[in-house]
């Protein structure tokens, strides 16, 4: 699933259980989690050992943890009244509770089963490795449970995403397949974590006014629209700066300069972030994307940049 579909109760009723789960969990964004896991495992290859079973388990476990977080996010925001009255969340895709697709009991069933599966996989990885994996799992569980409330509501959701999709997922994936951690992995994790964070910043900037009205103090609400947009642009610039300086000084392979291939899309994305948000859907924005705007550009740019970063890591492993 590559995007969040628009559907009604009839469409929902025609779906099988698996497809309903993918819709309810917003599976289109799982690609960012798979990038984190993939980068971590690639960075673990120089350790000289690689556990394929653990690699498969960590990918599945992280996706299930991400899915649990998305479900909890919708449940919490629904209970607090944030997603009611045609709020931004119910416009860009189905909110299972607000759109009447799931009862609260069914939603809790989705959350319970998905979360239990994620925990079971985490426990299996702890058994197959050691207590360090347990610490990673407990940290991940904390953010799954408390990202929406209170972290998102007090401006800590965006820093949490940077920590989770960066060091936590990347280093955790590297460790379970190789039993080693390095400072190099840590720095690459910090750089990659900026990408998912920028996507969230784009989303929260898109719905800044609605969040402010609902009392959800995301980082863009705290910083204001201009501050939030500038922060996002600055974070992207940091990615280029760190990787370029690393390659030019010999700390990183010269292959990391390939990230500059994302520059054309970066320029387009920067232009969008420097323009006012349109009040109505521009002709260039598909109907099935709007009212997503800044987040759509940030997501597409991040996918390209992350894909090139993965390629750079692969080429550096093969050719040095």
pLDDT in tens, 246-304: 999 999 999 999 999 999 999 999 999 999 999 888 888 888 788 889 999 999 999 99
Q: Please state, rounded to an integer, the average pLDDT across all residues of the chain.
A: 94
What distance lies between CA 46 and its chain's CA centroid? 26
Q: What are the chain's domains? A: 9-319 (1.10.600)
At 2, is the pLDDT very low, low, confident or very high (cuts 50, 70, 90)? Answer: very low
Q: Quote the CA–CA distance of 98 and 312 in Å, as a whole number.
A: 43
Q: What's the rounded mean pLDDT across residues 174-180?
A: 97
pLDDT in tens, 227-258: 999 999 999 999 999 999 999 999 999 999 99
Contact 308, 299 (CB under 8 A): no
* Burial profile 37-76: b = 16 or more Cβ within 10 angstroms, e = fewer: bbbbbbbbeebeeebeebbebbbebbbbbbbbbbbbbbbb
Output the pLDDT for position 1. 42
State the residue for tokens 């609260």: 104
The token pair that represents 305 in the structure block: 């940049």
pLDDT in tens, 101-122: 999 999 999 999 999 999 999 9
Three-state secondary-structure class, residue 26: coil
* Burial profile 152-176: b = 16 or more Cβ within 10 angstroms, e = fewer: bbebbbbebbbbbbbbbbbbbbbbb
What's the 3-state SS for 31-54?
HHHHHHHHHHHHHHHHHCCCCHHH
Q: What's the rounded mean pLDDT across residues 37-46?
A: 97
Contact 175, 181 (CB under 8 A): yes
Contact 126, 132 (CB under 8 A): no
Output the pLDDT for position 3. 59
């Amino acid at each position: 699933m590559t995007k969040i579909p628009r559907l009604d109760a009839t469409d929902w009723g025609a779906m099988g259980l698996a497809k309903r789960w993918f819709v309810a969990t917003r599976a289109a964004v799982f690609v960012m989690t798979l990038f984190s896991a993939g980068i971590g495992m690639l960075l673990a290859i120089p350790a000289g050992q690689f556990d394929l079973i653990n690699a498969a388990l960590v990918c599945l476990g992280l996706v299930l943890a991400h899915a649990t977080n998305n479900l909890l996010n919708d449940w919490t925001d629904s209970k607090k009244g944030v997603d009611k009255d045609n709020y931004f969340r119910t416009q860009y895709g189905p909110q299972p509770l607000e759109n009447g697709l799931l009862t609260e009991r069914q939603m809790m069933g989705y959350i319970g089963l998905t979360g239990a599966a994620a925990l079971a996989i985490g426990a299996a990885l702890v058994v197959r490795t050691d207590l360090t994996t347990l610490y990673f799992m407990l940290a991940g569980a904390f953010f799954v449970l408390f990202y929406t409330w209170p972290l998102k509501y007090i401006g800590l959701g965006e820093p949490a995403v940077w920590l989770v999709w960066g060091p936590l997922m990347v280093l955790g994936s590297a460790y379970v397949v190789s039993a080693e951690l390095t400072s190099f992995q840590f720095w690459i994790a910090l750089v990659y974590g900026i990408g998912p964070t920028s996507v969230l910043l784009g989303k929260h900037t898109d719905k800044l006014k609605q969040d402010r009205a609902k009392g959800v103090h995301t980082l863009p609400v705290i910083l204001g629209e201009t501050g939030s947009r500038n922060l996002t642009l600055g974070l992207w610039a940091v990615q280029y700066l760190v990787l370029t300086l690393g390659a030019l000084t010999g700390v990183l392979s010269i292959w990391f300069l390939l990230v500059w291939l994302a520059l054309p899309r970066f320029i387009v994305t920067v232009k969008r972030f420097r323009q006012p948000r349109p009040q109505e859907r521009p002709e260039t924005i598909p109907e099935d994307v709007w009212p997503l705007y800044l987040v759509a550009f940030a997501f597409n740019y991040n996918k390209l940049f992350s894909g090139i970063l993965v390629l750079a890591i692969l080429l550096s492993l093969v050719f040095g």
